Chain A
Amino acid sequence: MPKKSIIGENPIWADAAICDRQTFRWTRRTLLEHLDLPLFFYDRGESKFFLITDFDSAARAAVQSAAAAPEEALTISLYSYGGVSLREWIELYRICRNIKVDFKRFYENHNGQFGSSEDIEKLATKNYPDEFISYLDEKGINHSTVSLALKLWDNNSDALLYAVQNRLTAQSFKQFVEKAIDGGYVFPKDRRVKEHIDLDDALQKVNNAANPLRIHNLDNFETERLNIAFEVESFDEFSAAVNRLNAITPLMKEFYDALKKL
């Protein structure tokens, strides 16, 4: 059983989430290739694995989990960890984002168990490993910079997650942070090729002319799809928006010509 329960005993959830090695491995294989979802597992010895996977349908099919709602799945994970370190916090934070659970609300629900009601950034700062803090001091990097890095999660902090998850030694952790911050992984350098910059510029030009219409590329130009958004509150505004759309036609053509040239 977990060392310490922070939500009280709940054997139904806990037992329901245990699966065998084969199921665990199947789930891992199936999910890892497709989804950017972390798998929570907890080795209870004797080849038992504790999976918190109720947020994904493929995993739901594989694991006989009685956890009906994402919050419950998260609660199980807290139950099994018995406390929240930076590593657990990062995983929880990330899983909340993946399944669109409001981390703050979730955190507040467990307020008494977590300690005080500090905000997420402070909580993270408080739990940084010593070697990380000393590295930040040495390099003169303040905590808000690191918070910012954590906020840029989707794009570039996976490496940080990996480092923490894999419990690197103090030295390799230091090396890692050095690489992550100095090497431009956390704050990446602009590595766009010329064609990419030209496309961004062409789209920016359209947007400047289109205001208040907003034209977004949502998939890094993997497709030719654009999202065009505008709000109207009257027929006059609607007519103005349509006229604006007409007016930007030549610029749109320029943009699509640039896209075709790739």
Chain B
Amino acid sequence: MLYVERSALQSHLAQNLIKRNIHFELVDSCQEVPDTKKDMVLKSHIENFCRACPATSHYRCCNYWTADVMEGCPFDCAYCVLQAYLPHKNIQVNADSERFITSLNELIKSGEKRRIGTGELSDSLALDELFPFSQIIAPLINAQDILQFEFKTKSDRIGHLLNLNPKNVIVSWSLNPPEIAERWELGAANPLKRIAAAKKCADAGYKVAFHFDPVIYYNGWELGYASLLKTLFDNIKGSSVEYVSISAFRAASRLLAGIRLRQAAPTFLNEDIILGLDRKYRYFRGIRLKLLGFIYKTIKKEWENVFLYFCMEHSSFWERFAGFDPISRVGLEERFPHYNAF
């Protein structure tokens, strides 16, 4: 069910719903909206839209920025960090797109090159047909060269993007083998459909990116990831790929507890999971080395020049597979193609 806060009714996004005859109910406050993943509310917004990703201690991070246009996601991934991170299950969409544009403009004015995206507190494209943020964001992003914007998704809803200029916009997909996605990424598009959507975007001139995150350890993982990667290579040329991130499953204790309490408690928790240096639970290092090493080497063989990075992983992984340690957030950030574009 879709709701709109009375105070957000004049917003561009609410007016857009009215124009398209999309039915919604008016509420005084988003607090009145039922707290399920099926409920969405367009609400007025008072906080900053753009902020630095909180990252993690002891492990290497990439200095990413996030744009919080929406909190909550219609998909239901078993491992999703939002279960522990957000105080609500419903989807709260921030209506004040003018303010959002202002905060993006402020970032641009700062003159510092940054990578930023909407995929941290939601899926960037899952609801793009209803709330067309891509159409608001792309023209603004393409009028400058400071920010590179990433739409990160597990959907195949790329309709709006195909009519836009792809210049400084990256479209990225999180990928896991279909057998994992079917069980633990409920509601998300089948990974093969995600790859098909990526191909369409690449054909339309977009740079695409992929996130092997979280990589899941399970019986048959090697075959599963090998076949997923083969499909990816068969469809996407390395020259269209901006970057690939690789990272194994990890969870803070609160998230881990939440995952265990899900109706079908995921079997991927029944593995050798240890408490990491940042007090997040993750697979024993030996398992991570196998998983990440396999994916890293397979990709490097096929897409030799694509920038690969480990998200929140220990420096020893960098040293072993990439041959260097980025040392700091900035050190890692500077290796992204965006920072070397001119």
Q: Which residues of B contact A (CB under 8 A)?
A: 46-47, 54-57, 81, 84-85, 87, 252-254, 256-258, 260-261, 265, 270-279, 284-287, 289, 314, 316
Contacts and interface: CB of A to CB of B under 8 A. Distances in A.
A232 to B, nearest CB: 31
Contacts, number: 92
A34 B56 contact: yes
B252 A36 contact: yes
A56 B56 CA distance: 16
A28 B85 CA distance: 8
Given A191-B271, A192-B272, A223-B316, A159 B257 contact: yes
Contacts of A220: 274-276, 284-285
B270 A191 contact: yes
Contacts of B286: 193, 195-196, 199, 221, 262
A41 to B, nearest CB: 10
23 contacts: A32-B84, A33-B54, A35-B279, A154-B275, A155-B275, A158-B254, A159-B257, A162-B254, A162-B258, A163-B257, A163-B261, A193-B284, A193-B286, A195-B284, A195-B286, A219-B276, A220-B276, A220-B284, A222-B276, A222-B277, A222-B285, A223-B277, A262-B285
Contact of B285 (A22, A183, A221): A221
Interface residues of A, number: 35
B85 A32 contact: yes
A28 B265 CA distance: 26
Contacts of B274: 220-222
Contacts of A211: none
Nearest to A258: B286
Contacts of B316: 223-224
Nearest to A183: B265
B54 A30 contact: yes
Contacts of B56: 33-34
A100 interface: no
A34 B289 contact: no
B260 A159 contact: yes
A185 B253 CA distance: 13
A185 B256 CA distance: 11
A219 B273 CA distance: 13
A191 B272 contact: yes
Contact of B284 (A163, A179, A192): A192
Interface of A: 22, 25-26, 28-30, 32-36, 154-155, 158-159, 161-163, 176, 179, 183, 185, 191-193, 195-196, 199, 219-224, 262
Contact of A161 (B257, B276, B279, B289): B257
Nearest to A160: B257
A24 B157 CA distance: 34
A34 B257 contact: no
A164 B113 CA distance: 45
A166 to B, nearest CB: 8
A28 B84 CA distance: 10
Nearest to B253: A158
Contacts of B284: 192-193, 195-196, 220-221
Given A219-B276, A220-B284, A222-B314, 14 more contacts: A28-B87, A33-B55, A33-B85, A158-B253, A162-B258, A163-B257, A163-B261, A185-B260, A191-B272, A192-B284, A220-B275, A221-B284, A222-B277, A262-B289
Nearest to A224: B316
Contacts of B47: 22, 25-26
Nearest to A26: B47
Contacts of B285: 220-222, 262
Contacts of B272: 191-193, 196
Nearest to A192: B272
A163 B258 CA distance: 9
A179 B260 contact: yes
Nearest to A154: B275
A176 B84 CA distance: 18
B314 to A, nearest CB: 6
Nearest to A33: B54
A209 to B, nearest CB: 24
Contacts of B257: 158-159, 161-163
A29 B54 contact: yes
A183 B257 CA distance: 13
A192 B57 CA distance: 25
A195 to B, nearest CB: 4
Nearest to A191: B272
